[in-house]
Amino acid sequence: MPDPVDPVAPAPRASALAAVHKALGASFTDFGGWLMPVRYTSDLAEHHAVRRAAGLFDISHMAEFVVTGPDAAPFLDHALAGPLATLAVGRAKYTLLLNEGGGILDDLIVYRLAADRYLVIANAGNRTVVAEALEDRAQRWPIVATLAGGDRPAGGSFALVRGSRPVRVDDVSDSYALLALQGPRSSQILSAVRGLEATGADPAALSSYAWAEASFDGVPVLVLRTGYTGEDGYELLLPADRAAGLWAALQEAGEGLGLIPAGLAARDTLRLEAGMPLYGHELSADVRPDQVGLARVVGSGASGPPGFVGGDALARPRDAGAPVLVGLVSEGRRAARSGYPVRLGDSVVGNVTSGALSPTLGHPIAMAFVRPDLAAPGAALDLDVRGTRIPATVTALPFYRRKK
Amino acid sequence: MTDLTSLKYTAEHEWIALDGDIATVGITDFAADKLGDVVFVDLPPVGSPVLAGEVCGEIESTKSVGELYAPLTGEVVAVNEAVVDDPSLVNSSPFDDGWLLKIRVDAPASADLLDRQAYLGLTGAAR
């Protein structure tokens, strides 16, 4: 065995729940500059708990931004891919932050908090990139001029009396903790949390990709019906200094219902089964949305270049040879891992971005970039697992879909 | 229950129980914990020669792949088929039911092998 301990990057940040995790016996890993729980007991037990009952994750390493102002809606339509102005208050949308070339800088979930207010949740490792892109795009957003006296004076010149930036971006990541309650019993568990009161819509009645306000022991909590595991579930955003109280109340409510704390290792196998791309694996600044099955996020482009950053580039056809993301399934127990070659005969025709022995399905699964002419479901390819060829079949994503 | 102080260890987190010229080899609880849930082990066939310090097998968890290094030079005389069938034994019983292979050792044990105290010192767990 080589030393399995990852070198720890200098001074990773600790979550507000670090002491709670330590008391629960968690193993930690550096994740996007944060020291986060990788597992508490067993990756497999935590994975299965989320599929069968529920798991509780600390995802406080995620970055949060609030975009406010009378122009927040048109600004986000410009700054991010996909329409946000038409998003109803109370709803959320998965979207992308693109560069001018149409490459993916991050994948995001945007929640419309009010007509002029949005919450943007980004990946921990991309906090700076997202902050800089949003701030830069806000700085370039045209200044609104307000005319003295209201309407333009008839027949005369008019004066600009005041200019103000109609949109403002605040990075609130340091103030909030984010917990994820995921699994088929999450709604039942959430309803039983002592001290959690709905102040708007009933959280249990929320539809997927909706959110509601609640309070926990008098502190406002945003209850978001979103997640990253392929199961029903919630994400709960609240002031960081109140996170330990809510964590304990959730654990208490889930006792007897199969809820266990779950770490980032389980989160990774869960999201892979659900075919959800992960930044740094499937997504990067060199990858266009239409290479990874996310064309739906940015619209068809059929009606001309959309008016968002990166839209012009996406309106042009991509390089015909650009690799596309596929699912691959194989038999046995030997999983391909990120970076392993995909072969056809003696040629390398792609490479694996994520792979694991699927705990739910019992066979190896992988996502991989492959040559576009080999991407049709059913295509037979080989995975090169450290020199051993393992036959694999291209399959439609996701690998696992929960029963509704 | 194995007396852990009677075992030898390598810096690569293998343990070795020597009985005459037969060495039973496994990986330590520290390594098993760090790997996470072991889901696949690939062991050398019985009868194959192994060289001290060279890779002779693989241990895969849900998250990662670890290589198994032969701690001693010799011939593989047994592999633990129970672990091949149920790799979780590496996690649940790393020093007993989760043993991996037995080697008939060609030469006396290398002086490079560590005692329990030295191994714990290496993992930062020394008391």
Q: How far apart are CA A51 and CA A262, in angstroms?
A: 12
Band (A8; pLDDT cuts 50, 70, 90) = very low
The verdict on a CB contact (< 8 Å) between A43 and B62 is: yes
- Whether residue A252 is annotated as binding a ligand: the answer is no
Q: Is residue A82 scored above 90 in pLDDT?
A: no
Instruction: Please tell me the distance in Å from B89's CA to the nearest CA on chain A.
Output: 13
Q: Among A156-160, A304-308, A309-313, whose mean pLDDT is lowest?
A: A156-160
- How many helices (H) and strands (E) chain B has is answered by 4, 9
Of B33, B66, B91, the CB nearest to A2: B66
Of A1, A337, A357, the CB nearest to B27: A1
The verdict on a CB contact (< 8 Å) between B39 and A27 is: no
For A4, the closest chain B residue by CA position comes to B34
Q: Which residues of chain B have pLDDT under 70?
A: 108-111, 125-127
| Cβ contacts of A187 within 8 Å, gap of 6 or more | A203, A204, A232, A234
User: Residue A263's closest CA among A32, A40, A12, A66?
Assistant: A40
Q: How far apart are CA A57 and CA A299, in angstroms?
A: 32
Q: Which residue has the tokens 């102002």?
A: A69
pLDDT for A142 equals: 83
Instruction: Please tell me the distance in Å from A17's CA to the nearest CA on chain B.
Output: 22
Residues of A within an 8 Å Cβ radius of B: 1-5, 27, 38-39, 42-44, 47, 265, 268-269, 333-335, 337, 356-357, 359, 386
Establish, for the pair of chains A and B, how many residue pairs have beta carbons separated by less than 8 Å: 67
pLDDT for A403 equals: 84
The verdict on a CB contact (< 8 Å) between B42 and A334 is: yes
Q: How far apart are CA A144 and CA B91, in angstroms?
A: 63
pLDDT for A333 equals: 93
Q: Classify residue A25 as left (phi > 0), alpha (psi -120 to 50) or beta.
A: left
pLDDT for B2 equals: 84
Of B36, B59, B60, the CB nearest to A335: B60
A259 beta partners = A54
Q: How far apart are CA A350 and CA B71, in angstroms?
A: 36
Q: Is residue A357 scored above 70 in pLDDT?
A: yes
Of B34, B40, B91, the CB nearest to A4: B34
E strands in A88-135 = 92-98, 104-114, 117-122
Q: How far apart are CA B105 and CA B95, in angstroms?
A: 20
Band (A156; pLDDT cuts 50, 70, 90) = very low
Of A4, A357, A386, the CB nearest to B39: A357
Instruction: Indicate the average pLDDT of chain A.
Output: 92
- CA A218 distance to own-chain centroid: 29
pLDDT for A6 equals: 52
Helix axes A72-79, A127-140, angle to 10 degrees: 120
Q: How far apart are CA B76 and CA A285, in angstroms?
A: 49
* Residue A159, CB-side half-sphere exposure with 13 Å CA sphere: 4
Q: Which residue has the tokens 């339509």?
A: A77
Q: Element (H or E) spanning A22, and its range?
A: helix A18-23
Rg for chain B, CA atoms, rounded: 13
Q: Element (H or E) spanning B61, and its range?
A: strand B55-61
Q: What residues in B contact A269, CB-CB < 8 Å?
A: 62-63
Q: Among A150-154, A392-396, B17-21, whose mean pLDDT is lowest?
A: A150-154
The verdict on a CB contact (< 8 Å) between A44 and B62 is: yes
Overall average pLDDT of the A217-236 stretch: 97
pLDDT for A304 equals: 44
pTM score, whole prediction: 0.90
Band (A307; pLDDT cuts 50, 70, 90) = confident
For B55, the closest chain A residue by CA position comes to A1
Residue range A130-151, pLDDT digits in tens: 999 999 999 888 876 655 555 5
For B28, the closest chain A residue by CA position comes to A1
